[in-house]
Copies of this chain bind each other. A is one copy, B any other.
Amino acid sequence: MSYINKPKVAHPSLPTNSLGLTRRQYEGSMSTLCAGCGHDSVTAAMVEACWGLSMQPEQLVKLSGIGCSSKTTAYFVSGSHGFNSVHGRMPSIASGANAANRSLTYVGISGDGDSLSIGMGQLVHVIRRNVNMLYLIENNGVYGLTKGQFSASADIGTKAKRGETNSSPPIDPVLLALTLGATFVARSFSGDKAQLVPLIQAGMRHNGFALIDVLSPCVTFNDHEGSTKSYGFTREHYHPAVEADFVPRAQEIAVDYPAGEAIPVSLHDGSRVILRKLDPLYDPTDRGAAYNYIENKLKQNEYVTGLIHIDEADNTEFHTLNRTAAMPLNSIPFERLSPGSVALDKLMARYR
């Protein structure tokens, strides 16, 4: 919902990025979500991340499905095109859009209902297809917009506001993405902007599919005692394992980290992610190990957060595999697409 537009007059003293734009210029329409909704913190992180990346607004494409979470795309960077599609089917829209123009930056925002129930098939396959995009799930364990039914990420034993207890096992998007071979898998918490912003930036710059599962509490339907997706529970049980700093291309790395503690990962476009392991036992570059670590922690009711797995080498991004032309498909002059009358006349011989 975006019919209330905020005034965008930039205050002269607000800090600007390298494009000369202020943070205000990365905002979108006024949020119509509940006061305190986790999703609005994601909006704020998106604004910060795009501003920090000096993202040209029109170079960004925002995609979503249906749900409170899917409304998020209306609330940041109003200078970029947004596509609020149908429930659970954003990945196909994203795949098609990306196929048509590989030069833009694609951010998809979804919910746990949108991604893990009705959208499960498409989520799995957009991961497999390795479409170059950031896919962010605002995970609150419930269907917010339809008033609080359990979603597929709800934990066993968690209590609904109306008292029901959930008895089905949760689907964890992080384990799923690891199993499916995703090359950028992260988890964060809407309440931890410091952690979330560089993850978003790194995800946007990763050359392939990047998943961030953001625990994003629903204050209206899932923030009570007995819920495992409430602010309180999440804050207590979230377990940062790898901190990530994002360093844009132009920038020199200022701080020297002691060897072994920090792992710098170079991204496709020359920017870098500096990983700092908070748990020395953890290795984010080993997918199998990452899987085990997460799973064990989950058994102990701990959500591991941070950049859980990254693999920049394994470059199987969609266009690379397809050997698509460098020029966006939607911009190739017609003359180069249509073989013309001479070729057609020649081809006819095949059919005689």
Task: Check if A321 is an interface residue, CB within 8 A of chain B.
Answer: yes
Contact between A179 and B181, CB atoms less than 8 A apart:
no
* A322 and chain B: residue at smallest CB distance: B167
Which one of A6-14, A265-273, A290-298 is at the interface? A290-298
A176-B179, A292-B292, A295-B288 known; A171 vs B124 contact (CB < 8 Å)? yes
Cβ of A193 under 8 Å from chain B: no
Assuming the contacts A179-B179, A288-B296, A295-B288, asked whether A168 and B124 have C-beta atoms less than 8 A apart, the reply is no
Binding-face segment, A95-103, A113-121, A226-234, A326-334 = A113-121
The answer to the question of A128 belonging to the interface, with a C-beta cut-off of 8 Å to chain B, is yes
Q: Of the candidates B118, B168, B295, B316, which one forms a contact with A167 in the assembled complex, judged by CB atoms under 8 Å apart?
A: B316
Tell me if A235 is interfacial: C-beta within 8 Å of chain B.
no
Chain A: interface size category? 20 to 34
* Beyond known contacts A118-B121, A171-B180, A288-B296: 17 more, CB 8 A cutoff: A117-B125, A119-B121, A120-B120, A120-B121, A120-B124, A120-B125, A125-B152, A128-B152, A128-B171, A129-B168, A167-B321, A169-B180, A169-B316, A176-B179, A288-B295, A291-B291, A291-B295
- Nearest 4 A/B pairs, CB to CB: A121-B121, A120-B121, A167-B321, A169-B181
Report A156-212 residues with CB < 8 Å from chain B CB.
167-169, 171-172, 175-176, 179-181
Within 8 A of B (CB), among A115-166: 117-121, 124-125, 128-130, 152
A124 neighbours in B (Cβ, 8 Å): 120, 124, 171
Q: Smallest CB–CB gap between A298 and chain B, Å? A: 10
- Taken residue by residue from 37 to 62, chain A's Cβ proximity to chain B (1 for < 8 Å, 0 otherwise) reads as 00000000000000000000000000
0/1 string, A262-296, CB within 8 A of B gives 1: 00000000000000000000000000100110011
Q: Which of A121, A180, A291 has the most CB of B within 10 A?
A: A121
Q: Which residues on the B side are within 8 Å of A179 (C-beta)? A: 172, 175-176, 179
The closest CB in chain B to the CB of A166 belongs to B321
Inter-subunit contact A292/B288 (CB<8 Å) = yes
The CA-CA distance from A180 to B175 in the complex, in Å, is 9
- Please name all residues of chain B whose beta carbon is closer than 8 Å to the beta carbon of A288 when the two chains form the complex: 292, 295-296
Q: Is the CB of B120 within 8 A of A169?
A: no
Asked whether B295 lies within 8 Å of A169 as measured between CB atoms, the reply is no
Query: Which of A286-329 touch B at CB < 8 Å?
Result: 288, 291-292, 295-296, 316, 321
Roughly how many angstroms separate A181 CA and B172 CA in the complex, as a whole number? 11
Nearest chain B CB to A142 CB, angstrom units: 16
Closest to A156 in B: B316
Q: 10 interchain pairs (CB within 8 A)?
A: A117-B121, A119-B121, A120-B120, A128-B152, A129-B168, A168-B316, A169-B181, A171-B180, A179-B179, A288-B292
Q: When chains A and B are docked, how far (Å) is the Cα of A312 from the Cα of B128?
A: 32
